[in-house]
Structure 1
């Protein structure tokens, strides 16, 4: 009887201790949020960008990568041409009906349209929040098989403060985790990149910027299954969320930009239903409901596939606690760029393609896309791992 009472007493005491510890933890988090003068603004901005039926235009590719895109259609990589390309995107009539945020490269954040209007004002007048890529690219991790970590923490606080002053209200930091035939990201790569994402998010929030947290489990060659991609994605996201909590990042004031779960590039493509099944299961297992929006990247998918898979996510998880939406670069811009090709007479047609693609993905986010798609067809796409690019 005494032994039973002792065990019961220890259990009660343990529960009290756990409750006290939890209360202490909550008070620390509450104090951390209260200490940030931007806390309410961060939550409001994240909620706005995650508005149902809207997504993000990812136009933050580096000057070098943008140059490659321009040169592919015969346009020289100059600052004026990069400016004209961004202006075509940002001034597309009606874009703000379907796009709530635009991620910019640093150069673009400070640029002006031909008439002298700052791009931040052009986008703001359309109801589109301005964001900026703040990482400075990837660097190979010593002792790994080509795995990388993301650079850019040096002087990040000062840069974020300057970006906020310029009109940016959110930021983006991309981490790349490599998956290939027979293997996934190493523990070293996962922990290094989770730490970088968490530290960046902490700094961005302190400067008033909503951090887009982008842990991309990137597709590689091989015939590995969609189940393997889901396994590694779940492992990566779990570590990222743990580190965000360790750094007291306010989850209501972030957005997540992950990959959809797809099979290896040498495997048969998965149906939208299977992509949705494994992707939503992974999110439900790893992402807290307090995160307002999950904005999927379009890496590895054609323009039509990106839309169909996005619609399938809504059908697989109609009561998702977060907005399951998009942050697309290539899936909104590839055909737009080809249509424009640097020619003034193609300007209107290119903008029409962009808005049509944005509208299709907006409808897909609402589970209402019925087709036909503005750019039908297209196969699977291999995007090379770039050391300095944006990777959408």
Structure 2
């Protein structure tokens, strides 16, 4: 199947994106929620082995299908793992019909001007060239308060990285997350929307992006972004909300679909039987799919 088919699925597919991209910083917490205590792994490699088992279990589950999940975001180490004899990205697309994305950011810099920019991403062009079967990327920064200078800097950095991704023939998911606990969340979102529109208007035909944004305080605030000709899709992050809260808030936004991580895996446990695990995952998938639709 071609990149054109993948693009059509991302632009028009009825479903959501599974965020399976926990990296070094977020893996211990994700494993703890999954019922794997830190005492059960003695090294970073053993930790990543545990999270890979969890990801493989999710991907192999009967409910993890293209009918409800149109894409999946992966951590780079995951791309070197195998599921049933195939690389994870190839397995997702060839066996499941789910479009693979790669998380490329290297974490967050210290807070300044109310935001956390991305740390530098050295050798990005070389990294992207290694993964021809990956459709796009995801890169995250965080906005903590309505600081115009900080928000402008975050968005400018995001679009600088996006240009490099586009040049490599991929579609970037631009992710300037607004902290759900920010006391100026709604004002920050208005500022963010204006900055995003300014940068989207500089893109040329064929230079397309996706946007991954915190569910806005004002429902449908981001409809203008979703309608922009350079935007394939606007997706929502769960941002620390529970699955039910995230789904309730998302359902009020007609032009956003989910790209949930923690809300997708809520209630899953290593100790569950396969039947219990599949049932719990399917319940989350159904909830998130309904909210996205």
Report the TM range for the smaller structure's normalisation. 0.7 to 0.9
Displacement of 1:313 in angstroms is 2.0
- 1:44 is displaced (CA, Å) by 5.0
| Equivalence for 1:301 | 241
Q: Any conservation in 1 of the 2:89–2:134 contact (CA below 8 Å)?
A: yes
Q: CA RMSD in A?
A: 2.4
TM-score by length of 1: 0.66
CA distance in 2, matches of 1:346, 1:51: 35
* Distance in 2 separating the partners of 1:134 and 1:70: 21
Matched, 1:325 2:257: yes
Quote the offset at 1:355 in angstroms: 2.1
Residue 289 in structure 1 maps to residue 228 in structure 2: yes
Identify the residue that residue 365 of structure 1 maps to in structure 2.
292
Residue matched to 1:171: 137
Mapped partners of 1:135, 1:196: distance in 2? 12
Question: How far does residue 305 in structure 1 lie from its aligned partner after superposition?
Answer: 1.5
Question: Does the CA-based 8 Å contact 1:83-1:108 persist in structure 2?
Answer: yes
How many angstroms does 1:141 deviate by? 5.2
Measure, in 1, the Cα distance between the counterparts of 2:5 and 2:121.
26
Offset of residue 117 of structure 1: 2.9
The residue number in structure 1 matching 2:173 is 212
| Cα distance in structure 2, aligned partners of 1:362 and 1:295 | 12
- Give the aligned partner of residue 348 of structure 1: 275
Structure 2: give runs of 5+ residues left out of the alignment: none
Residue 192 (structure 2) aligns with: 236
Identify the residue that residue 69 of structure 2 maps to in structure 1.
Answer: 99
304, 312, 334: which one pairs with 2:266?
A: 334
Q: Does 1:61 align with 2:22?
A: yes
> Where do residues 1-392 of structure 1 align in structure 2 (5 Å cutoff)?
41=3, 44-72=5-33, 73-75=35-37, 76-77=40-41, 78=46, 79-96=48-65, 97-113=67-83, 115-124=84-93, 125-140=95-110, 144=113, 147-164=115-132, 167-179=133-145, 184-187=146-149, 189-220=150-181, 224=183, 228-246=184-202, 248=204, 250=206, 253-262=208-217, 278-280=218-220, 282-286=221-225, 288-290=227-229, 291-314=231-254, 323-336=255-268, 340-341=269-270, 343=271, 346-366=273-293
Consecutive unaligned residues in structure 1, runs of 5 or more: 1-39, 263-277, 315-322, 367-392
Greater fraction of residues in strand: 2
Q: CA deviation at 1:248?
A: 4.2
Alpha-carbon distance between aligned partners in 1 of 2:284 and 2:202, rounded to the nearest angstrom: 39
CA separation of 1:138 and 1:250: change in aligned 2, threshold 3 A? farther
Cα 1:284–1:44 change in 2 (3 A) is same
Bigger radius of gyration: 1
Larger helix fraction of residues:
1
8 Å Cα contact 1:131-1:169 kept in structure 2: yes
CA distance in 1, matches of 2:11, 2:202: 24
Normalising to structure 2: TM-score of the pair? 0.86
Instruction: Please say if residues 296 and 324 of structure 1, whose CA atoms lie closer than 8 Å, have aligned partners that are also in contact.
Output: yes
CA distance in 2, matches of 1:249, 1:152: 28
- 8 Å contact from structure 2 (residues 107, 118) kept in 1: yes
Alpha carbons 1:237, 1:287 under 8 Å: kept: no
